[in-house]
Structure 1
């Protein structure tokens, strides 16, 4: 079985928790895009793991893989491995693999990222971690790959080829061009390469071989659908393709192998950074959702903007991903809000739209058209089944399910693994 999981909104929908919950049923869990600009939090009992690169299945028996469509800061990866080791979780080469073709985020990528964002008159909300510039180099065929870190001679050869253009680009942005060929940084990356060398693998081969052998594979995406570099809210997007179809290209497996696509949907909507968000709330309801939901970015520490559920955006996510089922998260956060509003369409220039306009500026100008649903006062965090939900909460789930046209398979009422149940 081959299952793909993606976020259906602007990221932060709770993918890490759902992947952790499901990974016990899968032999391989594979991260297929993004870098350490994405974060996921896994909570088991009193233990909380905040990670940015390592796939969520590390707690169970799954082998976790980082695919060639990702970009990896090797220092961050090593720090995550050390953090898990301190908690008694050792990631051996038998437990984790990193594709040889994975692009490496180099110090000059981070320098370029920070300097470029500082020069923008209209910020796009980059995390400053070099992700975009690493992807630029991938497309330009100027990348450093994981395999290049395993040999100092190989790394120096690649850097000597790239140095003139990188130094010139940094100099133009008033940055420090000496960072490109800094000897101490090069030695550090070579040591990181030596440490990670035993983990290098061919992810495409592993996945295809596993499927041929009747094993199960779970592909884990980062960020969310509307941050997709092609289909998202340009220019306020990430640097990679976040939708389900990109899992096949970024891992290296044919689309005919896909059996199911699970969309992670928050019971409301949030966004970190800049960009249009038609249902954003600036009132007490928005503050309550942000506070109760703990809406702070795992990676950036920035407060997330909060809004009511946006059906037009969700409809587009369903089209883009081809979801076969939905996991609805953070239903508990909506307790003690009455009414609960759902955006069913937009008003733009005197027209009513039930699907988002292509242009991000037009989306920013859209006024949400709401339907009101009754709220509930009950604390949902101890609920263990759909039947035990208060009627208003059940009605909200069934209403969304009907409007989405995709079955809700999972419902989450808290951050812990045991706070998620099948509908």
Structure 2
């Protein structure tokens, strides 16, 4: 069975726990969108793991985990996660794969993200991790992909072209000195050497797995109402966080999806700016935040809290084709 798992609210619904449960029942787990602007928290025994890029199913022996083409990757963050797994004694040899088509977050993406947010009159609430500018380059057809790390000439040409334009913008618009070609080029060649063994055509790998009757879990990040199209625009993320993104973000046909599982909290939370119809008053929000430990796994930012929104949940069921809904953190409301 091929399952898509989506957040039915504004993210932080508790998807990590459900992913951990479902991962035990499947053979492959693939992340299909977003970047290290999201975090999934999984507790095994007394140890807590927080994943920003790697599917949390990597904790289960024998499970093959993929980062799909719809994800944008900060190689520094990815390498830190891999290092953390090694230090924890997690053996992922031969079972971790990265799509050759996934786009790379570059140093200028992160700076541009932060500088743009600083200039806005009405803040979006970006994490400043470079996610939006990276997706923008993807759409503008000037992005740098994982496969480019394996071809020094292609990497050089793309980086040179990008820096010609980016440095002009940084200097003239933001009064920023710009970026050194040599420094970034050498740095990303090194990343290629460290990550090259994981890069492959993950869409072929996943479709072959389907042919072989393997079970696949497609893991989403954020939530439905942070989706670039159907979310509370412009207070959204830059990728397709609905179930539709699972197909474009992995290369698996919609007709091969068997079930969509949604995850929501028994109440509602939101990080950053944007509308929130059921938001609690300030004092009760603080009480619920402390009781539910509502602080972002990625940024540590306090989450805004509110009542469960049935209208939102119904819309999410319709948008995603949700057949099963997991309701999390009911214990927080108990007493």
TM bracket (short chain)? over 0.9
Partner of 2:174: 174
Partner of 2:328: 329
- Deviation of 1:177 after TM superposition, in Å, equals 4.5
How many residues get paired?
A: 334
- TM-score normalised by the chain length of structure 1: 0.77
Query: Comparing both chains, which one has the higher relative contact order based on Cα–Cα distances under 8 Å and sequence gaps of 6 or more?
Result: 2
Partner of 2:19: 19
Distance of 1:258 and 1:172 partners within structure 2: 48
- Deviation of 1:162 after TM superposition, in Å, equals 1.7
Which whole-Å deviations, capped at 9, do the CAs of 1:108-148 have from their partners, x for residues lacking one?
10111111101101000000000000000111110000011
**Is the 2:150–2:192 Cα contact (8 Å) retained in structure 1?**
yes
- Deviation of 1:44 after TM superposition, in Å, equals 0.8
Partner of 1:129: 129
Distance of 1:177 and 1:113 partners within structure 2: 16
Partner of 1:80: 81
1:26-65 aligned within 5 A? 26-60=26-60, 61-65=62-66
- TM-score normalised by the chain length of structure 2: 0.97
Which whole-Å deviations, capped at 9, do the CAs of 1:372-393 have from their partners, x for residues lacking one?
xxxxxxxxxxxxxxxxxxxxxx
1:43-192 aligned within 5 A? 43-60=43-60, 61-92=62-93, 94-179=94-179, 181=181, 183-192=182-191
Which whole-Å deviations, capped at 9, do the CAs of 1:286-336 have from their partners, x for residues lacking one?
222211110000111100000010011111111110101011111111012
**Is the 1:116–1:173 Cα contact (8 Å) retained in structure 2?**
no
Distance of 2:210 and 2:224 partners within structure 1: 26
- Deviation of 1:284 after TM superposition, in Å, equals 4.2
1:249-398 aligned within 5 A? 249-336=248-335
**Is the 1:270–1:304 Cα contact (8 Å) retained in structure 2?**
yes
Distance of 1:73 and 1:91 partners within structure 2: 20
Partner of 2:235: 236
Distance of 1:226 and 1:18 partners within structure 2: 19
**Is the 1:167–1:180 Cα contact (8 Å) retained in structure 2?**
no
**Is the 1:166–1:177 Cα contact (8 Å) retained in structure 2?**
no
Which whole-Å deviations, capped at 9, do the CAs of 1:49-98 have from their partners, x for residues lacking one?
11100011011121100000110001100000011111111332x11000
Root-mean-square deviation over aligned CA pairs: 1.2
3-state SS, counterpart of residue 211 of structure 1: helix
Q: Where in structure 1 are there 5+ consecutive unaligned residues? A: 337-423
3-state SS, counterpart of residue 193 of structure 2: helix
3-state SS, counterpart of residue 24 of structure 2: helix
Distance of 2:322 and 2:43 partners within structure 1: 26
Distance of 1:18 and 1:258 partners within structure 2: 18
- Deviation of 1:180 after TM superposition, in Å, equals 5.1
Partner of 1:197: 196
Q: Would you identify which runs of 4 or more consecutive aligned residues in structure 1 move more than 6 Å? A: none
- Deviation of 1:179 after TM superposition, in Å, equals 1.6
**Is the 2:159–2:185 Cα contact (8 Å) retained in structure 1?**
no
Distance of 2:54 and 2:289 partners within structure 1: 27
